[in-house]
Chains A and B, each alone.
Chain A
Amino acid sequence: MSAQSLAEKLTMAGLEVVSLEKLADDWVLEVEVTTNRPDWLSVTGIAREIAALTGKKLRLPQATGYRLQAKTKSPEHVTCSPKPLSIEIEDKKGCPRYIGRVINNVEVRASPDWLKNRLESVGLRPVNNIVDITNFCLLECGQPLHAFDYAKIEAGTIIVRRAKEKEKIITIDGEERLLDSSILVIADKSRPVAIAGIMGSKDTEVSEKTKTVLLESAYFDPLTIRRASQKLDLDSESSYRFERGVDLETVFWASLRAADLFKEFATSSKGGLTIGRMEDNGLKKEKEKKISLNILRLSRVLGKDISVSEVERILRGLSFSLQKKTKGNLEVKVPSFRRDVEEDVDLIEEIARLYGYDKIPLTLSSLREPEGITLESGISRPQKIIQETLLGLGLDEVVSYSLIGRGLLEKINFSIDETLLKISNPLSAEQEFLRPTLIGNLLEVIAHNTKRQMEDLRLFDSGKIYLKKNHQPQEFPCLGLALSGRRYADWLRKTALIDFYDLKGIIEAVFCKLNISEFLIEPKALPCFSAACSVELKIHNQTIGFAGEISELVLKNFDLMQKVFLAELNLEKIFPFADYQKKFSSLPKYPAVMRDISFIVDEKIPYAELGNFFKENRYGLVKEINLVDVFKGGNVPAGKRSLTVSLKYQSPQRTLRDAEIDEIEARIRHGLVERFGAQMR
């Protein structure tokens, strides 16, 4: 099989080969191992997978192991503890199994070339034969090993315990590390000699002078190792495997295998290497896991019938053993290295994976209609309406970051107080807060674009804002509007700049689309707006947003040279007032009559008052009121302005006579004079 097709096969079985590298006479596969499969973090694990995929037999290296067990006769080079070794496990949860072994009379030297090449090919730096052998074993079977210089271990005693508060260790990388009681250490009588599962100490490291090695092969609790590694911000090939979980049974095998390799590659020319008795402490085996697999359920989950014999073949290939078989049920025994397999779906995945995902058909048929949830739920409908309206009005949609920095809030004069939601682990100062407003983001976008000569901007952002309310964090869907630059710029019309009324018109259009007519605009001083143009928007006396012209000061903070008009509406407060019910009313049968009324009034009288006057005086016949002209200067006296309002009269019952309109108009004119001191034109 070519390396490429092997890589393809592995990838399609879930062990993704991310690169293939050709060496002189070999290939290096770089694989991405998912966190659930620590058993794949070794050559053996991958070989096992390949065997299952190809149907070939798996052959593991011999670990003859110089097993010294009480009853067996010791081979000549195994001596009964040439040096004393005692192992105490104080924390049995943190370290369920610890195997120590003393290897005497080693010669520390460079590894043979093949070993060096092997290590280098996967990016490990060869150190010396002792360290290289431990690394080789780690890569081979996935079990991290550690070699101590035995001479440096006080009284040949190993204690696996929690570190004492403020205890210190200088690790192999030369760093001094401060420990605490959450961290598991390997210690001798007086001090820690390794941070368990992560890194050994500098002063017990194997050196050229080392004559005797203490070889550690152990199982450390994944969570304990992971937390220590995170706390110390220190990780290693070992910790990577321990925190994912090694195999309790491989702990033993690795110790045997390493002993073999020491014998072969660390014996001095003078000979005399002896391998001490294995001190094996703690749990030897975990409770066997058995899972019942129903063949019918398998095909129901996958949507494909797979025969029992096929299932058996696949599971056996993956080293599962099948205990017994009742009709349609298999009892599957899980090998110890498959910590990830816990229930039947895990087996179903194994079967599907090896069977081939590609052989499972495509179906759509079994899907039933859901009940109770409508296709368009929540806020998506009004949001869609608003978005369409704004796009139609020529606004560009922007999407901006919900996390912002203190600096941006300061730029818009936003007070940084208790109501803000703060991130406890931001990566940068720009991610310190969840934004309480869209203003900062919108101004940033305007600044970005104007700096690049795009000055005519009409933008909206329908993101969320986030605030604490009643001490609870809350998020509100919002609508931010920002306008700047020219209203239009074409050859036909005189160029005009955008002003507040453009912004107001857009807000009115949105409300019109949502069928909300009863909204008010009231002056209200807000920190980022200019004094002259800063308003609050209200529906039924409830504030639903604000709008205004950005103050000079704030503009300066963004290096903006042009006016910006900005609004922010809280959609959640607006939506309850939206009305999507449409009802037909018959078309008018009789013609309408249009009449204009022009008058001069004090310019301090807001139009809203005049507008309300017209609305209140419809006499049942005024259907529409439109302001068509506002004029100052010319022959209009200073301090006054001239207004022209166009009124549309119409009756649903009859054609109106001139005389009756004249009469109503006279009354309206009279009212204007009486109420506002208007001067008719």
Chain B
Amino acid sequence: MEEEIKDLEKAFSEDAVKADSLGGLEFLKTKYLGRKGLLSEYFQRLSAFEAARRPYVGQALNAVKEKVTRRIQELEKMLLQAQAKAEKTALDISLPGIFFRLGGEHILSRTTKEICFIFEKLGFAVVEGPEIETEYYNFRALNIPEDHPATEAFHTFYLESPPPAVHSPQKRAKNRGLSTVAYRLLLRSQTSTVQVRVMEKHKPPLRIISPGKVYRPDATDASHSFMFHQIEGFAVDTGVRFSDLKGTLFAFARKFFGQGIKIRFRPHYFPFTEPSVEVDISCIICKSNQPALARETTGRPGKPARPGRAERAGVTSSQKKQCSVCKGKGWLEILGAGMIHPHVFRAVGYDTKKYTGFAFGLGVERIAMLKYGIDDIRLFFENDLRFLQQF
């Protein structure tokens, strides 16, 4: 038996030398240490020995098993190291990773979301309104009289078939002696329509933000589009003040454009607010916000372009130093706002003595154009992936 054990040990040594791969080693392991392997076969035979010899043989067998186990472990370690080394040279880590396509949010969606998010943090709730509207909601209830020059700012698409009154305020309008013309259907030219719709259904306090598409039949060019996006916001309560409007919009501008931004409130006119204001921010491109608003021009200027619109190409060499976005004015108009006109409250039956409110409306395209320096509004709707994927 001792002889056999020695032979086994010898055979193992010979086999071990030949095991030069992990697969070979596994085979070796099974052959000697496996459940049905050679060593276990020897151990099984132990019982056949007389009791006195059993411990001696057993000891010898255990010693071999230990040797075999250790040797196999050594071999395994060695082979794994060798393999790791080999793999290290085989794997070209510089090959590109497998491409996972990432979807891109449209820049208008994202800008809308960012703006709404800021106002939501200020306690405004998002409410959406219909795009197909009546003249009542788009004009009359907002104190825009029929055929008034003020409506020129709100060129409007009308729907063709004159349908019966669909929207709710039939009775109300009748009581106010409005003509049936007030029921003509149109595509809203502003999101302010939502003011009236919400106030008809809810009592103050209200803080609403409402994004959506609006439509105006303007000839399409780099700065005009017949469809664009607006965000309307308004707050109504007892004691809402003009200073709150200023505070709210300032908070928004700083969050959206950055802490360093300056903001300016310029008196303006909107039929649905009084006092009304246009809000400018200091130019985010040239950051100059110099006090001089108007610049000296040589020769007669044409119809003045609004600041920030896409007129880069028109900048002549004599104006070279001037910022192309703010046209050297240092200020960029970003939104219109004001205190909600009592006429609007009257249209929804609010007590004008009790409640005051502010409202503001901003154009998403314009804000995005300013923020990212986009020079043509048509790019938003062309959906060229080379454009979309920049954001």
Q: A residues engaging B (CB < 8 A)?
A: 4-5, 7-8, 11-14, 16-22, 29-30, 32, 34-37, 123, 223, 226-227, 230, 243-244, 300-304, 343, 345-346, 348-349, 352-353, 357-358, 360-380, 387, 390-403, 421-427, 431, 434, 445, 448-449, 452, 454, 457-459, 463-464, 466, 471-475, 488-493
Contact = CB atoms under 8 A, between A and B. Distances in A.
Contacts of B383: 398-400, 445, 448-449, 459
A399 B126 contact: no
Contact of B301 (A16, A21, A230, A303): A21
Nearest to A120: B300
Contacts of B104: 391, 396-397
> Max chain A CB contacts within 10 Å: which of B277, B294, B384, B388?
B294
Interface string B84-104: 000000000001101111111
A427 B300 contact: no
B311 interface: no
A402 B294 contact: no
A446 to B, nearest CB: 9
Contacts of B243: 302-304, 360-363
A491 B103 contact: no
B163 A471 contact: yes
Contact of B208 (A300, A363, A373): A373
Nearest to B159: A421
B105 A35 contact: no
Interface string B108-123: 1100000000001011
A474 B131 CA distance: 9
Contacts of B207: 367, 369-370
Given A35-B269, A300-B241, A345-B339, A378 B275 contact: no
A35 B241 CA distance: 25
Interface residues of B, number: 102
B177 interface: no
A402 B103 contact: no
B226 interface: yes
Contact of B275 (A353, A473, A493): A353
A64 to B, nearest CB: 34
B256 to A, nearest CB: 16
A7 B291 CA distance: 11
B179 interface: no
Contact of B240 (A304, A367, A397): A367
A99 B206 CA distance: 53
Nearest to B279: A357
A368 B205 contact: yes
Given A363-B243, A367-B123, A300 B356 contact: yes
B109 A387 contact: yes
Nearest to A463: B213
A401 B227 contact: yes
Interface in B355-391: 356, 380-386, 388-389
Given A12-B267, A369-B205, A22 B296 contact: yes
Nearest to A343: B342
Closest 3 CB pairs of A and B: A303-B243, A14-B267, A303-B241
Given A4-B292, A390-B103, A391-B105, 19 more contacts: A4-B293, A5-B292, A11-B266, A17-B294, A19-B295, A34-B268, A35-B149, A301-B356, A303-B244, A346-B274, A349-B267, A366-B241, A373-B206, A378-B127, A396-B385, A399-B109, A473-B185, A474-B132, A475-B131
A349 to B, nearest CB: 4
A422 to B, nearest CB: 4
Nearest to A11: B293
B384 A301 contact: no
Interface in B227-281: 227, 235, 237, 239-244, 246-248, 250-251, 264-269, 271, 274-277
